[in-house]
Amino acid sequence: MLNCTHSTTATGVDLEQIEKLSCLYLANCRNFPWQLASPFMKDYDMQKLLFDKTVGHELSKQFPPAGEFLNNFIKTWIRKAGDGVVLEDIYDTLSSLLASPLSNKGYRLYTFDNCQTFLATEETMAMCSKGTTGLQAWRACFLACVWATKNPSLFSNKRVIELGCGVGLLGATISRLSPTQVTLTDHHSSVLASAHRTVTVNRLEHVAIEELDWREPREMECDVVVAADVVFDPALLPDLSLTIKRLLRPDNVCYVFSTVRNEATFHEFVRCISEAGLKSEHLDLSGISHYLVESVSDLRLLSIRL
């Protein structure tokens, strides 16, 4: 667990706030809340504390972020410091960073258990890379990880299949909830390779990776099916619905987590599910809170059964 060595009484530091900033940095949050970091720009010692929890964090050294992200973060740090003192470590980091071409791919680190454990995934900053959007994690996936962690009994001693696994963050999270087996599935070769890296770097156990084309679904034994951020292309929804149907039995269930970017697309998915002869139910997301999911107004969770 991350521990701050500076006491609140000695420095006036809000320990909960510095941990939140640390987690947001490690997750490469593009909307890093610099307004919350402003108290740490006041002097050298406070900047050093923030640096040690972000850029200089041990996990960040072990799993470095994308060069483009770090470059933007460092330059914003310098700008926010204004005319005040800037930590020498910041300039040293920038100098080393600019010695090589900046990469748009790097590691993001996530925690869904109050900083007790982290999961590392290698992701691209580009929304679409190599013809797929599956090389980075999206908001509905964060929601799914939080929800799964709050409902471990739904996955304990269960065989779980993830559809459209992307980098494998959701399946990796579930793998730590004592399932019998987790099978990550996707169709794109680059995405499957990314999922393999996630399994390897996190030393996950009881996790398999299989290619699955929704246009040619097949039967696979499971107790729970999960999918996150797979409802975005209307052309894929009939095949996705039929794939879910192929995996379901009278005694198992599918959970689909979605960010509603287009209401018509989401309603079309619900229609396709119904047309496939499946029953869907909207589950309540109130009470879900996480540093990466501060609002659930545009997020949905469907429970789907035969």
Q: What is the pLDDT of residue 23?
A: 96
d(CA 263, CA 267): 6
* Helix ranges restricted to H, the chain: 8-11, 15-26, 34-37, 44-53, 58-62, 67-81, 88-97, 139-150, 169-175, 189-201, 237-247, 263-275
Residue 261: other Cβ atoms inside 10 A:
11
Q: What is the pLDDT of residue 42?
A: 82
pLDDT in tens, the chain (306 residues): 233 333 343 456 788 899 999 999 999 998 999 999 998 988 889 999 999 999 999 999 999 999 999 999 999 999 998 878 899 999 999 999 999 999 999 999 999 998 889 999 999 987 776 556 657 899 999 999 999 999 999 999 999 999 999 999 999 999 999 999 999 999 999 999 999 999 999 999 999 999 999 999 999 999 999 999 999 999 999 999 999 999 999 999 999 999 999 999 999 999 999 999 999 999 999 989 899 998 999 999 999 999
**From the CA atom positions of the chain, what is the Rg in Å?**
21
- Tokens 């987590």 identify what position? 257
- Tokens 């730590």 identify what position? 176
- The answer to whether 59 and 109 have CB atoms below 8 angstroms apart is yes
The pairing of strands 224-228 and 207-211 is: unpaired
d(CA 19, CA 185): 33
Give the global pTM.
0.92
d(CA 40, CA 77): 10
d(CA 189, CA 2): 36
Q: Tell me, what amino acid is at 244?
A: I
The two tokens of residue 175 are 């793998």
Interior angle at CA 110, CA 105 and CA 115, nearest 5: 145
The residue among 189, 192, 252 whose CA lies nearest residue 226 is: 252
